[in-house]
Chain A
Amino acid sequence: MSIEVSNLSFSYSHRSVLNGINFIAQENQLLSILGPNGVGKSTLFRCILGLLRGYRGQVLLNGKDIKDISIKEIAKSLAYIPQSHYPSFNYSVFDMVLMGTTIQVSAFSRPGSKQIMLVEAALERLGISHLKNRGYTQISGGERQLVLMARALVQKTKILILDEPTANLDFGNQVRVLTQMKSLAKEGYTIIQSTHNPDQTFLFSDNVLAMKDGKILSSGIPGDIFTADLIKNLYATEVNINSLYEDRVRVCIPKCAI
């Protein structure tokens, strides 16, 4: 299970958003994409998900060009976890997760007992079974993020794409969501997330892409590529990078705070 992006470029009318992006995301890996706001992370995701078609270059899903794969087939190997949002109508957590199984039933039918069991298992695994009869819009942001993760799990894909999964979450929920992502990666999932937090990548990511101006500035293992210079280049902010616990963990601290 892999995603291979080669020489991907995209522009909205005349404004170039992505410019020659190359990377490979593989199984057992959590890949984090960092970059300032508006750098094109969401556009990149939309290309990978097959939602935007007018790009140059190639996106390969398990070796096949994603432009040649139907929406239905893409949804069988790729699940998307959007930022937790408020839908127009309030659904119960259970129904919300059940929607992820839609691909397994034909257009004129509804999910059955097999799908209901999948949902129960996914809720159990993410520790949110107690929420199943609550309304999706009435639970906290962190819980909503976990619900959307459960919805992706019941879709039974091996690749998960998460758009800033820890944005707007409190500290504890950030850790809980990231821990789940990490353990899924260890089980063989391919996970791609976008994030704004360099410390998070030191703790949880296997690989990092640093993006600026629609290009990849640097990529590799977080400990190798994340230097004070790179952060300064990305976010125009002076930082010190310190190592803790015999360099098993690194932290990134803004200089103005010291």
Chain B
Amino acid sequence: MSRKRPEPVQVVKQRRDAAMQTLAQAVPYIRYLGVQFERRGNELTAVLPYREDLIGNPMLPALHGGATGAFLEITGHMQVMWAQVWPLMEGGGAAAEAIDAGQFPPWPKVIDITVDYLRTGLPRDAYARARIVRQGRRYASVQVSAWQDEIDRPFAAATAHFLMRQ
């Protein structure tokens, strides 16, 4: 028995990146804030490129707590969605074809989010990663951490709960 030959690396990358981009770009508010996603395998890092209109305190200056909170929420939301999409996309068959055609499962709903503002958000790019602490059939619990210069010095962190819709 011979194993199926793996797909060429470019095909794999393109399929995964396309799914990630389609998901993020379909949401107007993610586009508005300018949040982008970078991917290594199934690991996602969200990037919030700095813009002057993200400032909440012009005297310091510091990022707006609302913009920071929204960035963390988007990161957590995307992580839960991505965790649903990944096995479908990689599993082949009709489910994978649907993903390729841009048909995704419905976005989970945000139930609640608690944001800790740990440091002043500086006027520069911010990064965030989310970790699914528990994924159940109906609920998911997610932790998000955001940093700017040093990953071990987060400027904001959040815990969020999501309602799965499948």
Q: Tell me, yes or no, whether A binds B.
A: no
